[in-house]
Amino acid sequence: MNPVKTIFLDRDGVINEDSPDYIKNWAEFHFIPGSLHALARLTRSGCSIIIITNQSAINRRMVTLNELKQMHRKLGRAVSDSGGRITDIFYCPHRPNEGCGCRKPKPGLIFAARDRYGIDLSHAVMVGDSAKDILAGQAAGCGRTVLVQTGNGMTAIQTLEETGQRPDHVAADLDRAVQWILDRPSASP
């Protein structure tokens, strides 16, 4: 039995294609091949999926909160139609210079999810495509961190190596990350 119960996922660059111009509406939201299948596999294995995402486009006034929530409803429906289930989505609306505690690499969003759902973070996994995702997972005390090479993954590998921080695993994409997670008996070291 696999005691991993919670998988934290970044959104842009992990589930859907990222854009330097931000994802501002559903028409710009394009699933990375294999990501819907990966989410369905996690759901079938009994894992809770929680998205942890920086969405500074809100405070940059590029997207309204209602537009973001509409995108997330459509995301949830698409995942559900593919056999998966997203438990919740936590987002930070702040720009990098606003000094909040919820913007990754700070662990505030993960802590908020932990508090809401009673999550044992030592058995949780953070999956992301950026150094910020990996650092947030490590700072929160997640049992494992996985970097995917989609999105900003290749840049993140270099950034993490320069700082001496390393994810527990590097995978080509979310589908391969899920395979690695499900093949491991426990997230605890």
Q: Report d(CA 158, CA 24) in Å as an integer.
A: 28
In this structure, are residues 7 and 125 in contact, taking their beta carbons and an 8 Å threshold?
Answer: yes
- The tokens describing 72, both together, are 């997330």
In this structure, are residues 4 and 188 in contact, taking their beta carbons and an 8 Å threshold?
Answer: no
Q: Is 12 a catalytic residue?
A: yes
Interacting residues of 3 by C-beta distance below 8 A, sequence separation 6+: 123, 185, 186, 187, 188
Domain architecture of the chain: domains with CATH: 6-183 (3.40.50.1000)
User: Per the residue annotation, which of 10, 18, 133, 175 is the catalytic one?
Assistant: 10
Q: Is 10 a catalytic residue?
A: yes
Render pLDDT for 11-64 as a digit per residue (tens, 0 to 9). 999 999 999 999 999 999 999 999 999 999 999 999 999 999 999 999 999 999
Decide: pTM greater than 0.85: yes
pLDDT at position 2 over 80: no
